[in-house]
Chains A and B, each alone.
Chain A
């Protein structure tokens, strides 16, 4: 019952967004039913549609959780984008340096590595790197806020620029194969590759990029739930978010919670690198993120900052991302920008939803009271 109440407004928002999106499609001159058929059909076919939907959902689960954890501490983390870039680059770097990467550069074998670790060491190390570097990058704005009172919205946005420029610089000048026209690093060692789900799931081809990071994302949802609602640390973070003065009264070190929450948030954002680098591209690819960090804000909002909600919202957004491609290709007038329109409409109606609830209360009161 409680779950139903929690779900009802996000569901209404999604529904209304689709209806208005449909009207837009109709105005543009296409048949909305065909376009939605195309969109949902391609996102839900087995195995390609579902495989890609889940693959696109994976980074959004991580960034959605990241934003949700920060939000529970009363912080708006706009910096998931920067955090995931830095962490992705770091995990690629470790996987190159310790993965025995040797590349043929204009005919000479060039060694980029220091060592060549076996998979059972390298994979955990690479995963840990993504988590820790993300945490460190996230902790910076947390510390700036705790120490100097700098607003996290400003600092995280600024750190996004720094992050993007920093990793581009390192990619361009140190880890790109000379002569490679693409802005990407040399490949990571094969020992750092994590398996694609196609390796275990019958009927799911291994060419699909969906990999074990998706399972890790599910685990992350469970862990975040336990952390926030079943540990004293989570209690302290949520208390700080709910009322910092009361938290302080309860003997909670509010500044420490701010740093901790931002670090956990950054760690979750950083885990995007596990899917993208270790499970999909096997290299650091510059500007790979389709605004995952920013979409994560919408995912958290739609998911009401709860792991279950974030998971469901990420699936929806994953579907939209996947379904946008055939819409672009096969519909006459509608481009895949429709996906962004739908995303924006969903967010709009979630934001309106709060007031809608209030209005509906007020309205029913007015209606019942005919004096």
Chain B
């Protein structure tokens, strides 16, 4: 269906694609894996006409083609779904899908015709998308299906999906894979860019592995395994399981009693939750996203208006239910937020300035109040960069220029260097490459072994079960059970996460 031959692409000094050769068979699901910055997205953007290659050939269905713009790609039957959706929130599904390819005469749009076509497509692939629904009423998973429909509506025979599962819950991922398989049955070709190996193994037929702008291997999925793929991606052996000694928990650091969080407009939030986190242990919270984990962590970090909070939060014997975010920092509570772009970073500020967010008002950021100590800030940034292997190690670079993994390492470094007594950490490895995941996991365990109490929320069941010493399962804002992650199967936990069965709650 599609073949890239000797594609080369240079951005300034960086060789993003170095004589790439990728061959995608018609009717297959082809995974392209590699760490962040390996050049997978660049290669696919070249195939879709977003970038033009500096050299090489693109062959579509046996014919060499020149793809200069996405328009050319669409004409050749190539569609692409981006990691960040490109949808107009206030318009309906049908309006979004026809945008740029409006049916009818130039003056009027035949939306009714479009809607019926979309409905037919939706039925054909069983996407269950209502063409007349408004985008802002749809879940993330449904929005993604709208993006798929957009490509299908333009008669795409080859779909390129850039990190499609990054935004989905485990259930949605399953559903999504079912859809992809159905597309394959209908003769579509799918390219999926990802760095999650479990997904590669679950869905693809062929795998191309990229590293540092080069293709390092091409294998049949049936003939490989996660360890081999990880080794090809990173270039060395990678520990996929977290190895950690048993926890030696001490005193309770955090006790949450009958804690509730009201959220405007209804069901979500947290209801009557009680638990403890002791020094030297990692307590995980497993749950499908949107079941109150975000609210729980944000409330514990002091980021929820106190009037919306009920119950009590006690930290080392002190009631902190109403304490501000800064008071909590002062007490030794650090927080790695779920969304690093929204909460964790000032993207246009440099690394040095980001390394003091939260402690910018005291030493070492401030020498002689209120004046910032520029040298002190740089030194602190250099410490974080060194201890947490942030690359490139330049404190003057805007954080926006870093890869997701390095941004995350910067946040984790910033919070860990506070030597917290309690760490609230949410999605520590979301959108982070394998090498960095391993690194972050090791650092978390090391912090635990120094006696820090850690409350961990993650949408990756694998992550939360392998890191946690105790695991709380949250469903609809309630803790429905506590399990020993070593002795409970993923299926059992998964069932509890969807409200299936009560565990042995305390």
Contact = CB atoms under 8 A, between A and B. Distances in A.
Contacts of B358: 249-251
Nearest to A251: B326
Contact of A232 (B66, B303, B337, B365): B365
B51 interface: yes
Interface stretch (A51-59, A282-290, A299-307, A363-371): A363-371
Interface SS of B by simple majority: loop
Contacts of A251: 302, 324-326, 329, 358, 361
Contacts of B265: none
Nearest to B369: A232
A147 interface: no
B301 interface: yes
B329 A239 contact: no
A231 B370 contact: yes
Interface stretch (A11-19, A240-248, A335-343): A240-248
Contact of A246 (B52, B342, B365): B342
Contacts of A239: 346, 349, 357, 360
Interface in B292-335: 301-303, 324-326, 329, 335
A225 interface: no
Interface string A216-241: 00000000000001111101101100
Contacts of A229: 372
Given A243-B345, A245-B342, A371 B53 contact: yes
Contacts of A231: 370-372
Contact of B337 (A249, A366, A369): A249
B57 interface: yes
Interface in B25-68: 51-58, 66, 68
Contacts, number: 84
A236 B360 CA distance: 8
B47 to A, nearest CB: 13
B343 A246 contact: yes
A233 B360 CA distance: 9
Interface in B433-482: none
Interface residues of B, number: 40
B325 A248 contact: yes
A145 to B, nearest CB: 17
Instruction: Output the residue of A245, A247, A253 with the most chain B CB within 10 A.
Output: A245
B347 interface: yes
B334 to A, nearest CB: 11
Given A230-B371, A248-B303, A365 B53 contact: no
A251 B356 CA distance: 11
B353 interface: yes
A318 to B, nearest CB: 30
A366 B54 CA distance: 9
Contacts of A233: 370
B111 interface: no
A343 to B, nearest CB: 28
A229 B66 CA distance: 49
B347 A371 contact: no
Given A242-B347, A249-B303, A249-B335, A365 B51 contact: yes
A286 to B, nearest CB: 39
A271 B335 CA distance: 42
B366 interface: yes
Interface string A186-204: 0000000000000000000
A369 B366 contact: no
Contacts of B56: 371
Nearest to A369: B52
Given A232-B365, A243-B347, A371-B56, A249 B301 contact: yes
Given A242-B347, A249-B337, A371-B56, A235 B372 contact: yes
Instruction: Count chain A CB atoms within 10 A of each CB in B302, B324, B366, B370 and give the residue with the most.
Output: B370
Contacts of A250: 325, 357-358, 360
B491 to A, nearest CB: 36
Given A249-B343, A369-B52, A235 B353 contact: yes
Nearest to B11: A365
B374 interface: yes
A371 B58 CA distance: 10
B348 interface: yes
Interface residues of A, number: 25
Contacts of A252: 326
A366 B370 contact: no
Nearest to B356: A235
Contact of A245 (B343, B349, B356): B343
Interface string A59-83: 0000000000000000000000000
A309 B385 CA distance: 32
B364 interface: no
A243 B354 CA distance: 12
A253 B53 CA distance: 48
Given A233-B370, A249-B303, A251-B329, A371 B345 contact: no
Interface string A329-371: 0000000000000000000000000000000000001101101
B170 interface: no
Nearest to B326: A251
A369 B342 contact: no
B374 A230 contact: yes
Nearest to B396: A2
Nearest to B65: A371
Contacts of A230: 371-372, 374
Contacts of A247: 346
A232 B361 contact: yes
Contacts of B290: none
B344 interface: yes
Nearest to A234: B372
Contact of B346 (A232, A246, A365): A246
Given A232-B360, A246-B345, A250-B360, A369 B329 contact: no
Contacts of B372: 229-232, 235
Contacts of B345: 243, 246
B357 A232 contact: no
B54 A243 contact: no
A250 B303 CA distance: 10
Contacts of B325: 248-251
Contacts of A238: 349
Contact of B348 (A232, A242, A245, A366): A242
Interface string A252-278: 110000000000000000000000000
Given A245-B342, A246-B343, A249-B335, A368 B370 contact: no
A103 B369 CA distance: 49
Contacts of B371: 230-232
A229 B342 CA distance: 23
Contacts of A246: 342-346, 357
Contacts of A242: 346-349
Contacts of B356: 235
Nearest to B372: A230
Contacts of B349: 238-239, 242
Given A239-B357, A249-B335, A249-B358, A371 B52 contact: yes
Q: What are the 10 A-B residue pairs with the smallest beta carbon separation, nearest first?
A: A251-B326, A369-B52, A250-B357, A250-B358, A251-B325, A231-B370, A242-B346, A249-B343, A232-B361, A232-B370
Interface of B: 51-58, 66, 68, 301-303, 324-326, 329, 335, 337, 342-349, 353, 356-358, 360-361, 365-366, 369-372, 374
5 contacts: A239-B346, A247-B346, A249-B337, A251-B358, A371-B58
Interface of A: 229-233, 235-236, 238-239, 242-243, 245-253, 365-366, 368-369, 371
